[in-house]
Amino acid sequence: MIQGCTRAARQAPTARAENLLLVTIDTLRADHVGAYGYARARTPTLDALARGGALFERAYAAAPITLTSHATLLTGRYPPGHGARDNGLRVSDSVPTLATMLHAAGFRTAAFVAAFPLDHQFGLNRGFDVYSDRMPRGSDGRLMNERPGSQVVDEAIAWLGVAPATSNQHPATGNRRPATSPQQPAPSPQKFFLWIHLFEPHAPYADPASGRSMMDRYDDEIATADREVGRLINALGSRGDDTLIVVAGDHGEAFGEHDEYAHSIFVYDTTLRVPLVMKGPGVSAAVRSTENVTLADVAPTVARRLGTTVADVDGIDVSAALSGGALPARELYAESFAPLVEFGWAPLRSIRSGNWKFIAAPRAELYDIVKDAGERVDLSTAQATVVRQLDTRARAIARARVRERSTPRHRHAHRSEGSPRGGRADRAGHIRRAHRRGAGVGPRRNRASRSEQQPGAPAPRIRAPAAGRLRPRRAGIQMGDRRRSADRGCAPRSGHVPRPSQRSRGSRARAERSEAPRAGQS
């Protein structure tokens, strides 16, 4: 899947780290971090890490949704290779992860996650001695979708053996072993892999009644997450000198660009470009790499820095870039299966190759991302040869390894919420809920998308828009002065409009159909 090197790479750093601290911050756009040039940023911790280490200016997620992107980061594989192509699908048990590799190499391993999409049942718990994923209950007794970052960091600090957790009312982990409690401090491990996940920047944003803009409140949430990262790093103390620290966003967030709010549907860079910073032994200070990298590169890179390997990956070791060196020329893949799983529409795939960004959709799109970083000028008609070549590559990557899995709980979630199995009004209601979520409507931390909501919960009673307003439109319908990207990207696949009986089948079957060649194609 990876093209050969066409440029000489500078020799990679050789110093080896003893420990790994991985921090993932949900829904974090790169251009809302100070180190990436955001003038209004309040991210002193991330900015300091960037000054002391390496920052990747062009880092991209492989999917604009939580579980899928994290699975790519932890396995080194693109979504077709790990199977969790949407929230609620399970990572294939046969796929090695960074945790399974490091655990086998003698590392103590622990993960503390802040939101239900990363629940242990979806497969990322494999290889972790401790996997803390228990969510708190709201005032009505229902499990919430997420928990505060302060609780996540408290538990992580307790596991490190630095101090007892101060907010441990839900210490169970959902994994084989319980998380550390204040009554049982963990020993300080000699070698450890610690992963924490923070959910603050995910909608709904705090204080919706304040009258402040969504973007201002989004920045507030980023600032909160940044403070928690700083608190955790400070708790490392002297062990931080031997620890490789990696901070990454899992995907971005849209604020109306390309007619999208929130994330999960489209594959534009508003939701794919993420911050990625590494600091620690063997990483040069103040490096700003302009090489294109994907979150699939994280696992093979950190594995090498820790003296081990992750097998059979789509990403590459980008250690050369940690000292400012060049990387091989290659293509980067990304996809969104939410249109298919949520609405029965066509999935979206993208290929980034040189100056080109191609989006495979019912109406293909092609952008020169060097001249047109905002992806506004579609060149697909003028560059038909490039479109054909990149479309072939996108399909080849997607078909190379299809290991999709689903769980009974995932199927139950589809039945209880708007999905392709529901009627058009249900799908319209889901989109409206997504827009309400982006606007911060509803109780803080108690509203989420269908695929990021606790399974089994009844769907909110929200009136769907007027009939026909949010139908899957055919490609090319004019909306004002230009075609809506939503209509081009999410129209039903050409030649295939699912019948009701087909929609009642599992997500796995729908995904497998989408990988089959279309009529007239090989």
Q: Which domain does 291 fall in, by range?
A: 19-330
Q: In angstroms, rounded to a whole number, what is the distance separating the alpha carbons of residues 301 and 313?
A: 11
Let me know if residue 406 belongs to a domain.
no
pLDDT tens-digit series, residues 431-477: 333 433 333 323 333 223 333 333 333 332 222 233 222 233 322 22
pLDDT of residue 401: 67
379 within 8 A of 366, measured Cβ to Cβ? yes
Total structural domains within the chain: 1
447 within 8 A of 204, measured Cβ to Cβ? yes
| C-alpha dist (Å) from residue 310 to 77, 193, 246, 276 | 10, 14, 17, 20
Contacts of 313 (CB under 8 A, 6+ apart): 75, 76, 77, 296, 299, 300
Tell me the CATH number at 246: 3.40.720.10
pLDDT of residue 292: 97
**What is the pTM for the complete model shown?**
0.75
pLDDT of residue 87: 96
pLDDT of residue 14: 59
In 3D space, the residue among 350, 354, 351, 357 whose CA is nearest the CA of residue 377 turns out to be 357
Let me know if residue 23 belongs to a domain.
yes
Q: In angstroms, rounded to a whole number, what is the distance separating the alpha carbons of residues 185 and 207?
A: 36
pLDDT of residue 183: 38
Let me know if residue 210 belongs to a domain.
yes
Is the preceding omega at residue 164 within 30 degrees of 0, hence cis? no
pLDDT of residue 443: 32
Let me know if residue 428 belongs to a domain.
no
Q: In angstroms, rounded to a whole number, what is the distance separating the alpha carbons of residues 248 and 28?
A: 8
Tell me the mean pLDDT per 10 residues along the chain, length 522: 36 76 98 97 98 98 98 97 94 96 96 98 97 94 94 97 49 37 46 98 92 95 98 95 98 95 96 98 96 98 94 95 95 95 92 97 96 97 97 88 45 31 31 36 31 34 28 27 30 32 34 36 34
Q: In angstroms, rounded to a whole number, what is the distance separating the alpha carbons of residues 326 and 312?
A: 23
pLDDT tens-digit series, residues 220-238: 999 999 999 999 999 999 9
Let me know if residue 410 belongs to a domain.
no
Let me know if residue 425 belongs to a domain.
no
Let me know if residue 301 belongs to a domain.
yes
pLDDT of residue 441: 29
Let me know if residue 341 belongs to a domain.
no
